[in-house]
Every structure is written in C-alpha cells, then in structure tokens.
Amino acid sequence: MDLSAEDRQRLAGDAGPAAQLAMRIVVRLAESMGVGRLLDITGAHVDSCLYHGQSGLDFAGRLLDGGASVAVPTTLNVASMDLAHPELFRGDEEQGRSARCLAGMYEQMGCQPTWTCAPYHLENRPSFGENVAWAESNAIVFANSVLGARTARYGDLIDISAAITGRVPAAGLHLDENRHATIQLGMSHVPPDLMNLDQMYPVLGTVVGAVAGSRIPVIEGLPPGQSEDRLRALGAGAASSGSVGMFHAVGSTPEAPTLEAALGGRAPAEVVEVSIGDLRAARDSLCTANGKGLASVCLGTPHYSIEEFRTLVSLIEGRHVHPEVALYVSTGRAVVAELELRGWADALRSAGVTLVVDTCTYMSPVLADTDGTAMTDSAKWAWYAPGNLGVDVIFAGTAECVDSAIAGRVLLDNQVWADV
C-alpha cells in the first residue's frame, strides 16, 4: 500500500500500541477492499460506545491500555442508556454498569460526550466535500446526502480506529466517481398535497430503501428546497429498510441541482415511479399493532431537532398527556440545553412529556409498558422497535401521535393515504 511516513510509524508501534492496533485495522480494511491508499479525515462519529457485550469493553480496554487518543475531533453516538437520567433505565443493573463503564472509556480517549445519533445538530458539523468517518446509519446518509460531506458506512471498532489514526481507505463514497445515482425514483404519481406533509418523508424513505438496497437513488419530482428535517427523515427510513448510504433529491440536496448532475450524465440502470399505493403499503408495513390499548408514544428517532420541538410545543400547548399514556421524546444534550434556555423543556415536562437524552427508546429499556401499543412518527423507530423491544407499533404523523397521547387512545387520519 501507498502509506505515508506517519502511517508507517504507527504500524511500527512508534506511536504506541493503541495507534499500532488501530492502524493495522485501517490498513487491513483497505487491503480487504482492494484499495491502495488512505485519506485524511477531519472528524469522526463513533458508535462503538454503544454497549453490546463484553467484547466492546475488552476492545476499549485494550485501546486505553495502549495509550489511545483520538487524532481528530470525535463525537459519540448514543449510549445504551440515558446517562444523565439513570432512573429511566429499566434494564439489568449489571448491563447498566457496563454501559456506563464503556461510555467512560471512550471519553478517556478524548471523544466528546455528545451522546447523540444526530451529530449534524451540533455547532461544528462537516462542510461540503470534507472527508469524515461517521458511524450510525442515519448520520451517514445525512452527511453524504444533505451536507455533501463524505463518509463510508463505518461500523463498530473501525470507527474508533479511524478516529485514532485520522485515516480511512480511499474508497466508496469518499470518491467523486462513486457518488452518482444509479437508480431513479419519480414522484409524478404522488399528489402534491401528500408531498407537503411531513409524515410522507419517512414513509417515502422506507420505499426508497426497499427499492434501492445499497444503491444510490435519485428522487425526482419532490418540491425543491426540502427542509433538513424532512430529508433526514427520508434518509433514516431508507437506511433502515435498505442499506442506503447516500441519496439525491433533485433541487434539495447539494449534489443534485439537476437530475443529470445526480446521475453523473449517465442513464439510470432502473427507473421506478412511486405511487400512493407504494407509500400506503410502506406505511402499513410500519404498523404491527394488534388492537391493544395505547401505552406509549415515542418521538425522536433520530434525535429531535429544535424545529421539531417547535412543532411539538405548539401541538401540546395548553394540553396534557393522558395519565395512562407515556410520551417520550429522545434528543441530544445540546438540543435540551437550547430547550431549557427557551423555556420549552419546562413546558413540555409540565405537559407530561418525558425528555430522554443520550440514547434512543427503541434500543434502551426505557418504556414503562411494552405490552401495550406504541405510536411513533419515526420510520426507523417503527422498523426496529418490534424486534428490539417486542412492542407493537403504529406509525403516524406527529400531530396524530400527540393527539393520541392526550386522548389516551389511537387516533388516525387514514384519509391522508387514500387514493385521490
């Protein structure tokens, strides 16, 4: 491989055992991909801090024993529990101790204790064209698609290795030639009124992921200038139902000013026209409820943004969550700090809302009741929660979720998805 002098010094152990191990991992990854050179990165977002078992502790311990320290600014993805509010954790006590221990290890390596799956909400986020090493599926697709930054899909242990070395293989979505769309999805059969609803975008993402798989899709026909929150919901859905690491939306994402630009001047290998029937079927696939009463409403997967909280505050103002329903909203510490400054955090808590930080409720044992039905406005939450928690789920729009939480029963407007 064409390695720099610093790379070779790390491989030789001159920078210590941890840097040597991390460099070996990055080099072996490149070799397994048939790649002959590495790239510098400007930052990393690490998912290895999420506790999955003893192996994660062992690996982090080995890095720490070897003097590990990150070489680039590195943020941390969610933990296995709300570290700021441990009383919300309903899991095994030993698992909680292990999760806190692992979290502390990554902080000792110099990682920033951000504990969010939405690092793009932080003040310092990568700019267009910057190479980074991000883990967490929704963050990866957002970085590539909405920010125009460049990252491959870095998984556990590789992400922290990249952060320690500041290097990644020169491959995949880091390279211009690999960022063009190969499949085109049209929206000409979808009514404009439906495209103007926020809840359509996570459902569209579910369709996109199922159709595209690991390919890069371009979506033509959406109204231009879509918000970051809508694009994020689309990408999170596509990264859940498929393995999409990047998408283009003509007129909304930075590398798709035109359809031709998104395709790189080539004809698409496949053209798919999305119908309202496709969207309705995708919406239905996100609903597994069997008629049990409503027990919880879970918002904030990915972590809620300030703008999403603005909507939530307006929807719940002057109202209160039903005493038999728990309404959880997951978000990052930085966003909660802003909520506190605006007075929104107290208003939401007074209305019966539980704010969850550092984790997501579809993976951490936070829900007080997993026997009853859960509602969510997130395609990702609806995709993973049934398997992770064993809970029955109904996907709906944010307003429907809030109205249901207040009424204490499921309220849906199915006319939204009717043929027109």
**Buried b / exposed e along 318-345 (16+ C-beta atoms within 10 A):** eeebbeebbbbbbbbbbbbebbeeeebb
Q: What is the pLDDT along the chain (420 residues), one digit of tens a residue?
A: 999 999 999 999 999 999 999 999 999 999 999 999 999 999 999 999 999 999 999 999 999 999 999 999 999 999 999 999 999 999 999 999 999 999 999 999 999 999 999 999 999 999 999 999 999 999 999 999 999 999 999 999 999 999 999 999 999 999 999 999 999 999 999 999 999 999 999 999 999 999 999 999 999 999 999 999 999 999 999 999 999 999 999 999 999 999 999 999 999 999 999 999 999 999 999 999 887 899 999 999 999 999 999 999 999 999 999 999 999 999 999 999 999 999 999 999 999 999 999 999 999 999 999 999 999 999 999 999 999 999 999 999 999 999 999 999 999 988 888 764
Burial label for 230, CB within 10 Å (0-12, 13-18, 19+), is buried
What confidence score (pLDDT) does residue 417 get?
Answer: 81
What confidence score (pLDDT) does residue 419 get?
Answer: 61
Domain spanning 5-177 has what CATH number?
Answer: 3.30.499.10
Strands 133-134 and 44-46: parallel
Strands 167-169 and 38-40: antiparallel
CATH of 286-417, one of 3.30.499.10, 3.30.460.80, 3.40.50.720, 3.40.190.10: 3.30.499.10
What confidence score (pLDDT) does residue 420 get?
Answer: 47
5-177 and 286-417 agree in CATH topology: yes
What confidence score (pLDDT) does residue 292 get?
Answer: 85
Query: Dihedrals φ, ψ of 51, to 5°?
Result: -75, 125
Calpha distance 376→177 (Å, rounded) = 38
The domain ranges of the chain are: 5-177, 180-284, 286-417
CB 367 within 8 A of CB 361: yes
Report how far Cα 290 is from the mean position of its chain's Cα atoms: 28
CB 420 within 8 A of CB 276: yes
